[in-house]
Amino acid sequence: MNINDAISQRHSTRAFINKKVSLEKINRILDIARHAPSGANTQPWQVAVVSGSSKKKLQQQIEQAFNDGVESHISYQYYPVIWTPIYKSRRRMCGLQLYSSLNIAKDDDKKRKAQWAANYRAFDAPVMLLFFIDPEMETGSFLDYGMFLQSVMLAAMEEGLATCPQAALAEYPDIVKQSLNYNADAKLICGMALGYEDLDANVNKYRTSREDVGNFTQYFD
């Protein structure tokens, strides 16, 4: 697969088959992704690979907190506090496509809550990747992290694997760090589902739109 195809065909996968991912594949993915650029070569990424019994325990703890109504508290502000119309419209359309693919009605709160809870299981993918950063790192390192995350997702495609980057997996950082006995001072940026795509699942078949180049580009000659 060439780079253009990999970038244009990558999509967020929310249904996986029950097939184990070998540690060798995961390590090859991370070995490629580590070449992502970073300011002054700081390489701020820290990755936790969670699978098997550790994943089962962690996702049960997070999902239980969610079902019990425990308030989430991601370590940084991900979305805007006030949405401008264009971004609000794109967000709304994204949600409509997702729930339509699952045949979940707008007023079906029970099914919507159950689908949201699936986030905390990494959509039942065999592997949950969690991405941390040291607390002293600033906004520039978040830019670096974005390039690293994209590299992980593209390298996964080369291995025949699918992914879904998930801010939701960073909503209960204290539970995550406690369950994994991870450094309490580290910031949890996001997570990622990793596994083999269920090609028959409707939720994996829709594609969100992208703006034409002319809509977000200005040329100065």
> What pLDDT sits at residue 23?
98
> What pLDDT sits at residue 195?
98
> What pLDDT sits at residue 1?
83
Extract the residue ranges of the chain whose pLDDT is less than 70.
none
Q: Express each pLDDT in 68-103 by its tens digit.
A: 999 999 999 999 999 999 999 999 999 999 999 999
So where are the chain's domains? 12-78+121-202
Q: Which CATH code, of 3.40.109.10, 3.40.605.10, 1.10.8.100, 1.10.3720.10, is assigned to 12-78+121-202?
A: 3.40.109.10
Q: Express each pLDDT in 129-149 by its tens digit.
A: 999 999 999 999 999 999 999
Read out DSSP for the chain? --HHHHHHH--B---B-S-PPPHHHHHHHHHHHTTS--GGG----EEEEEEHHHHHHHHHHHHHHHHTTPPP--SS--S-SS--HHHHHHHHHHHHHHHHHTT--TT-HHHHHHHHHGGGGGGG-SEEEEEEE-TT--HHHHHHHHHHHHHHHHHHHHTT-EEEEESGGGS-HHHHHHHHT--TTSEEEEEEEEE-B-TT-GGGT-------HHHH-----
